[in-house]
Structure 1
Amino acid sequence: MLRTDYKPQSIRQSGQLLQRHSSRGFRWAFTGTIIGILLVILSFNSGSLADSHASQLSTEKNKISAEPAQQQLSADKAKASIKKLPRMNIELPPDTDGRLSQDQTDIADEYENAFPRRALPLSIETSLYDESADDENPNTLTAVTVQAGDSLARIFQKQSIPARDLQNIMSLGKPVKALTKMMPGTVIEFVRDRQNTLIQIRYPLDETDTLIIDKKASGYHSKIDQVKVETELVSVNGVINDSLFLSGKAAGLSDNLIMQLAGIFGWDIDFVLDIRKGDRFTVVYEKRYAAGEFLGNGAIVAAEFVNQGKSFRAVQFVDDKGNRNYFTPEGYSMRKAFLRAPLNFLYVSSGFKRKRFHPILKRVKAHRGIDYRAPKGTPVYAAGDGKVIRSGYNKYNGNYVFIKHGEKYVTKYLHFSRRKVRTGQRVKQGQTIGYVGMTGLAEAPHLHYEFLVNGVHRNPRTVKLPQARPIDKKHRTLFTASTRSLIARLDLEDRIYLAQLDRINRQQAALSNSEISPKSAPQ
């Protein structure tokens, strides 16, 4: 029987092959469709995320570009910008040991790319940073010792300081006047900054005061820097065995203190002619210290001199204006209207005499003054305040000066080597009016000194001088309070001296008695 569905073998094989290919193609087509759908979904999601990130990134970039490139962000704007940025907290699992997972790293990188970091410009004032702090001493100090013949202009030139600075400094006037009278050996200091610009000058005026000249924005300014000085009171007692000078040195007084002592009592005592062996003195003076170092002796604050049994006492008083003077314990000034002797002399070569044989004129005539022998060039002082009524030269007097003191008194000074005042000039007591010489009728350097009262010559050494003026009434209470302790100290020193003297006298008497022994009894 013939089969109608029969097909040759080749046809059957081809159909099977076609069927297998069709089945395989369907599967690939289906797989491709699924993959396509997934790709569309993924593409849509990633596009949305990218658009979101791009939008945020674009917004941030617009904010940045809107700001001027040179404008500095203030602290408030920086804080506001930080608050606008989205925060992202990444919490690490406890078992990660502080390390991020790969997913967290990817997310962090994506966040960093979306929101890049940018530096905030900072504005720090230069005044807040002091470069000098890097160096311990940014300024340089130059010390210059003043040499003989040096001037401030010459020193400035050697230090390469512009003349303009010298002119500006000298324009300060009186405060810097000391710079025009610099003494050789004095040290002046210059301070310069990093740029070698002069910023300060230091010049010592004395042991405690230093002139400081500072350069500021407004120019040069001066001031006086004072070191705090502490004082200690010291007492010295002495007895006159020869001259005041030698006896004072033996007691431990300096030359300056001896001169002060002579100046205090010089109105009452002639220390060349009046003192006697056995006279005694007590001096209370200051010792000055600064920062624990001894500066030197200060002024005498109290003193007593016993001359030929008569006691003279003086205490220093400083009034409310800072004026220092010496007074008796009763309040009378030690400074009389006239000096007993107007110079420091060696001896009196000729006294006040009605008749004297003149060594040059070779005849007898009155010597109506006193001749004080002193070395040539010794300063001569005005005996009191007054007015110069004559200053000139003639062949008898040589260089001479006459001074009128009020309506009653006139003093005359003869044989100067050189005069220092002119006619009509007013002078103060103690002011130098000339120098000892031997001009005119003179055999040796000396001062011929005359003292006239109402036109009549009087002995300058014995004439009664005007009464000393008492202390001002408005200062009486202050004087009593401030000098009470000084007077008490003089009383104490006087009692101590008398006690020591009494002990010495008793010891000497006992020694004398012990040396006088009774003679042995007769056999």
Structure 2
Amino acid sequence: MVTVLGGHKLLTTYHQYSQPAMPADSVLVPLADDSAPGLPALADADAQREKTPIATAIGEASRLLDAGQGAFSLRGLPLDKLKATEVIDLDVVQTASADAVETPRATPTERLAPADTAALDEGAQHMAVVIGTLAGNMTVSEPEATPVADATSYEDYGIDRFDEVSFLPLELEAQKPYVPRWQTHIVNAGETFAVMAQNKLGLGYSEVLTLLDKLPDAEMLTRWRAGQRFDYRVDENGRLLTLKMMKNTRSGVLVTRQQEDLEVTAIEREGKPVQRLYAGSVSGSFARSAQATGLDSGAVTELTRLLEKKFDFRRDSRRGDAFQVLVESDMIDDEPLDSRVLAVKYQGQRMDLTLVRNADNNRFYTPDGHSLDPAFARYPFEGSYRLSSNFNPNRHHPVTGRTSPHNGTDFAMPIGTPVTAPAGGRVERVVKHYAAGRYIVIRHDNGYRTRYLHLSKPLVKKGQRVEMGERIALSGNTGRSTGPHLHYEVHVNNAPVNAMKVKLPENTRLHGDSLVAFQQQARPMIAALESGDTGTVSVAAYRPEANAQNDN
């Protein structure tokens, strides 16, 4: 196709007459077979001054189109009257024919019927061209200009038809049932549970009070600290469904809604037992030396009380004494809990001692089965308290002024100090007396009796069975008393004796099958103590059957 610059409307080539829909703004130029090649260059100044007949035709066509006359045809315009001023060779068309449009404006459904075709010479091939410009104001400045690409007003959404877009996924999502999700709340400074429960859990004040009454320890919610956290779930209306709060790593509570009631269930997590071996030497106090090995405070306290039953640290321990301690803890979330001593070996200048816990009765024995706990403890309490009045059958009574025997031993101690049973037995009396105050009498398994006077509160009842070390009362200042203290008596064969000097029953000892079973338990723990492998150990690895498998 050849474009002549300077025109204002579109003129199509001869071959477009057969198209199903003719552009409205078009002019068909009929060419005779003997037309000479040539085309006016309208942009040329000389051609403008000397207009050729075809230039005149173009001008007339432009004027008619500008006047809104639509498509028209030029009839009876012989090409031999046009002067060729510019020739362009095209080698694409071999034959062609042209005819005039019968109607001034073609409809989209009309089709132009071709006239009789005749072979065109070389000149006709040059003149079968489009002359003009696009009616849509597209101006081609140069003959070799590139056509403008089609434009679009929408993005490619990857679909062929807009009416094929489906909103079904959105509808299905909206129809899904509500699924409560766990959320976590971290307590802020100054925040109260009642206000938080109303804002986040949808609980009314009465529901909060009911919940606090059901909790085993209401202080979990009333005395919480900033930074504490708990998990909860609410329904689609924002009402509490489930609340989980841990008091510590092991224990907590779970609150669940059952219709309109809140049910509270205790949470107790079981840990995996893990054994660790600690080793150290005495440097200063034993308690500080034990703590320096990495033992926690609970294990240090248990170890100290355990060894105190056998010797006095102030008198018997020496700098450089060595000790090894095997401890078992429940491991939960990589945190050791509830540490308990399994075995201990103390090697000192004045004493060598090895003790192992017996799983059958939770008491400590030497490897040959001797119990560490005496059958009868010397003191009915833990710790050390000042002896304020000795056993004295001829004592002068400080209140009445008369000589009256003092059949017990007095220990000055604050009101409320726990009093423990020195041995196993059964409670015979729990009485309130005008002179003795509140007092308890226990008959022990070996036939001894003990009495405890001036108590503030008994913790046992008549006929109750008690074991060594069990709390039986709290000390006080009831009855005839000059100050807070515990009056303690020991009776042998129904006669009072000096509890601080009387010979007490010797330690119990394991025999027979009990001894064999204990020694089987103790053997791997003793081997772990002697291995020196501090840190995490496996007691099972020191059992004889495990060693036999390793040898194989």
1:313 maps to which of 335, 349, 354: 354
Match of 2:306, SS? helix
The 8 Å contact of residues 421 and 471 in structure 2, kept in 1 or not, is answered as yes
C-alpha spacing 1:456/1:258, structure 2 compared with 1 (3 Å): farther
Q: Where does residue 43 of structure 2 map in the other structure?
A: none
C-alpha spacing 1:197/1:439, structure 2 compared with 1 (3 Å): closer
Residue deviations 1:306-329 (CA, integer Å, cap 9, x gap): 79945443223445xxx7443332
2:356 partner letter: V
Q: Where does residue 366 of structure 2 map in the other structure?
A: 328
Pairing of 1:156-235 with structure 2 (within 5 A): 159-161=201-203, 178=216, 182=220, 184-185=223-224, 188-213=230-255, 224=267, 226=269, 228-229=271-272, 231-235=274-278
C-alpha spacing 1:435/1:446, structure 2 compared with 1 (3 Å): same
How far apart are the structure 2 equivalents of 1:307 and 1:471?
Answer: 29
Q: Where does residue 412 of structure 2 map in the other structure?
A: 373
1:299 partner letter: R
C-alpha spacing 1:472/1:376, structure 2 compared with 1 (3 Å): farther
C-alpha spacing 1:252/1:418, structure 2 compared with 1 (3 Å): same
Q: Give the greater-gyration-radius structure (CA).
A: 2
How far apart are the structure 1 equivalents of 2:302 and 2:176?
Answer: 54
1:256 partner letter: G
Q: TM-score, normalised by structure 2?
A: 0.50
C-alpha spacing 1:483/1:347, structure 2 compared with 1 (3 Å): same
1:256 maps to which of 268, 281, 298: 298
1:436 partner letter: S
How far apart are the structure 2 equivalents of 1:342 and 1:146?
Answer: 45
How far apart are the structure 1 equivalents of 2:233 and 2:429?
Answer: 53
2:510 maps to which of 470, 473, 478: 470
Q: Where does residue 398 of structure 1 map in the other structure?
A: 437
How far apart are the structure 2 equivalents of 1:340 and 1:276?
Answer: 19
Q: Where does residue 421 of structure 2 map in the other structure?
A: 382
Q: Where does residue 450 of structure 1 map in the other structure?
A: 489
How far apart are the structure 2 equivalents of 1:253 and 1:284?
Answer: 10
1:339 maps to which of 377, 399, 402: 377
1:409 partner letter: Y
C-alpha spacing 1:221/1:380, structure 2 compared with 1 (3 Å): closer
2:382 partner letter: N
Moved more, 362-371 or 211-220: 211-220
Structure 2: gaps (5+ residues): 1-167, 533-552
Q: CA RMSD in A?
A: 5.3
Structure 1: gaps (5+ residues): 1-121, 494-523
Q: CA deviation at 1:233?
A: 0.8
Q: TM-score, normalised by structure 1?
A: 0.52
How far apart are the structure 2 equivalents of 1:318 and 1:467?
Answer: 18
Greater share of helix residues, 1 or 2? Answer: 1
1:301 aligns with 2:342: yes
Q: CA deviation at 1:199?
A: 2.8
Higher relative contact order (CA 8 A, sep 6+): 2
C-alpha spacing 1:283/1:396, structure 2 compared with 1 (3 Å): farther
2:439 partner letter: Y
Residue deviations 1:95-129 (CA, integer Å, cap 9, x gap): xxxxxxxxxxxxxxxxxxxxxxxxxxx99997998
